Amino acid sequence: MLETFQITKHFGATRALDGIDFSVRPGEIHALVGQNGAGKSTLVKIVSGALSPNAGTVRLDGVPVDIGSPHNALRLGISIVHQHSGLVPSLTVAENMFLGRMPTTKMGLVDWERLRLEATALLARLDFQVDPNRLAESLDAASQQVIEIARALSISARVLILDEPSAVLGTSELERLFDILRKLRAEGKAIVFVSHRLGEVFAICDRATVLRDGRSVGTYVLGGTVDAAYLIHEMVGQGWEDSAARSASAIGHELLRVEMLSRTKAFEGVNLNIRSGEIVGLAGLVGSGRTDICKAIFGALKFDRGGIVVKGRPVRIQDPIDAVKHGIAFLPKDRHGESLILSLPLGWNVTLPVLDQFTSAGVLSHSRERQHVESLVRRLGVRATGPRQPASSLSGGNQQKVALAKWLGTQASIFLLDEPTAGVDVAAKSQIHALVRELARRGAAVLLSSSEVPEILAMSSRILVMNKGRVAGCLEGESATERDILELAT
């Protein structure tokens, strides 16, 4: 249905895509995989009209097409659901689904009744029940993705592209999404599934195309001899080993204790403690309260009751500035909205919390700042042209490394990491895991909040499982199983 032939794209001297051939058939879910920076996003932007190639051809039903713009892509029946929601929060579900294409009366006014009926019919087609008059901002991440898929169906999209759809979803929400995708596949839709999570790729996809350094390595029918290890080898190439094996750290004295922490309608009576050299996992489904707990400890979210003890002393944390003074660092899961200032250079992002280290009498030493940035960039293996490169132009994995580098320059001894490897490739994930273990070996206390159960099991010495805002149980990391966690989480 959709094919690309020898697609090439340059950004200045950088060749992002080099002769990419790719195709997706009717009634197929085709995975597009590769490391961050491999060219996946660039290819997706070309076939969805956000970018134009320097060379090559895109064909739809065997006919060459000049997509040219996202609007033209929609007209041709190509729609994309982005990793980060594209809904307008202040508009209703129905308004978002038909934005720019509202049904009208003979007088030219919006036909609100027809709008509601058409939205209801499309949602029913996906077996999803929600009031079409409900505001988009009141929906969880999984529901927002369903609305975006329904919007694609409203334009009779034949090619549906999903860019990292599971980055914000928990287990139950992900299965609901998979049910919808299977239904669309049965209807003959051509679906492109972009993901770093290979377990999901094998669970839902028929074929996979691997990109590496802007080139197509190959297209494979999934199953049989093509397993996750094979795809990882094709994605990464020679010279890489997974560092997932658990390594013990010396456990020291308690650095952080949270006592009966509560916030109305978010979490209730949460107790936890983390010692020096310890990685404590915080598991649970999306919406279980994990993120809110991290934000409350960091002072980014007010709590109603309870207390926080740092290094044996009760502290009052009213805002993130207080948290940083007490040696607490927080890596939010939303790196675009809360972790980085994308319009600024990566170097400025790294030094924002520690600018006072490079100032004398109010004057900033640019040379000392640059040395600090370059040292951290080398340590974390950030792939960039230099400290002045805009953070927005980095791949997802490199953006996450920059977000981590920002806190490594501080005097933090307590690290709150919320979904630290969301939307990064297998190699970057391994590097981040190694860095987190190194923090623990150096005596830091780490709270690792993640919806990825294998990550929690691989990294944690103890695991707290959240269920509807409460701690449902505590498991020892070495003896815990995926089933133990899911039983407590659900």
Give me 388's structure tokens.
Answer: 């002045």
Question: 309 pairs with which residues across the strands?
Answer: 257, 314
* 281 and 456 Cβ atoms separated by less than 8 Å: yes
Query: What are the CA-CA distances from residue 268 to residues 309, 332, 421, 451, 468 (Å)?
Result: 18, 21, 27, 20, 9
Give me 364's structure tokens.
Answer: 């900033």
Task: Give the whole-angstrom CA distance, residue 310 versus residue 417.
Answer: 17
* 383 and 213 Cβ atoms separated by less than 8 Å: no
Residue 179 pLDDT: 86
Residue indicated by tokens 């006072």: 356
Of 404, 280, 282, 435, nearest in space to 331 by CA:
404
Task: Give the whole-angstrom CA distance, residue 430 versus residue 435.
Answer: 9
Residue 172 pLDDT: 65
Of 244, 408, 272, 437, nearest in space to 331 by CA:
408
Mean pLDDT over the full length of the chain:
86
Residue 396 pLDDT: 76
Residues 6+ away with beta carbon under 8 Å from 429: 196, 397, 421, 455
Strands 462-467 and 279-283: parallel
Residue 364 pLDDT: 84
Residue 245 pLDDT: 47
Residue 5 pLDDT: 93
Q: How far is CA 433 from the centre of its chain?
A: 16
Task: Give the whole-angstrom CA distance, residue 177 versus residue 190.
Answer: 16
pLDDT tens sequence across 427-452: 778 888 988 999 999 999 999 998 87
Query: HEC string of the chain?
Result: CEEEEEEEEEECCEEEEEEEEEEECCCEEEEEECCCCCCHHHHHHHHCCCCCCCEEEEEECCEEECCCCHHHHHHCCEEEECCCCCCCCCCEHHHHHCCCCCCECCCCCECHHHHHHHHHHHHHHCCCCCCCCCEHHHCCHHHHHHHHHHHHHHCCCCEEEEECCCCCCCHHHHHHHHHHHHHHHHCCCEEEEECCCHHHHHHHCCEEEEEECCEEEEEEECECCECHHHHHHHHHCCCCCCCCCCCCCCCCCEEEEEEEEEECCCEEEEEEEEECCCEEEEECCCCCCHHHHHHHHHCCCCCCEEEEEECCEEECCCCHHHHHHCCEEEECCCHHHHHCCCCCEHHHHHHHHHHHHHEECCEECHHHHHHHHHHHHHHHCCCCCCCCCEHHHCCHHHHHHHHHHHHHCCCCCEEEEECCCCCCCHHHHHHHHHHHHHHHHCCCEEEEECCCHHHHHHHCCEEEEEECCEEEEEEECCCCCHHHHHHHHC
* 401 and 431 Cβ atoms separated by less than 8 Å: yes
Amino acid identity of residue 17, one-letter, is L
pLDDT tens sequence across 194-247: 987 788 889 999 999 999 888 899 999 997 778 888 887 888 765 445 544 455
Residue 144 pLDDT: 82
Task: Give the whole-angstrom CA distance, residue 59 versus residue 470.
Answer: 52
Percentage of the chain surpassing pLDDT 70? 94
Amino acid identity of residue 117, one-letter, is L
This model's pTM is above 0.85: no
User: Consecutive sets of 10 residues in the chain, 490 residues long: mean pLDDT of each?
Assistant: 92 83 94 83 90 92 91 89 80 89 88 91 82 87 79 82 73 76 91 86 92 89 83 70 55 93 92 94 84 94 94 94 94 84 90 86 87 87 85 83 88 92 77 89 93 86 91 88 83
Give the burial class of 71: count Cβ atoms within 10 A of its Cβ; 0-12 exposed, 13-18 middle, 19 or more buried.
exposed
Residue indicated by tokens 């010279």: 239
Residue 326 pLDDT: 95
Q: How far is CA 376 from the centre of its chain?
A: 23
* 30 and 207 Cβ atoms separated by less than 8 Å: yes
Task: Give the whole-angstrom CA distance, residue 262 versus residue 138.
Answer: 22
Task: Give the whole-angstrom CA distance, residue 321 versus residue 329.
Answer: 10
Cβ neighbour number for residue 290 with a 10 Å cutoff: 26
Task: Give the whole-angstrom CA distance, residue 55 versus residue 6.
Answer: 7
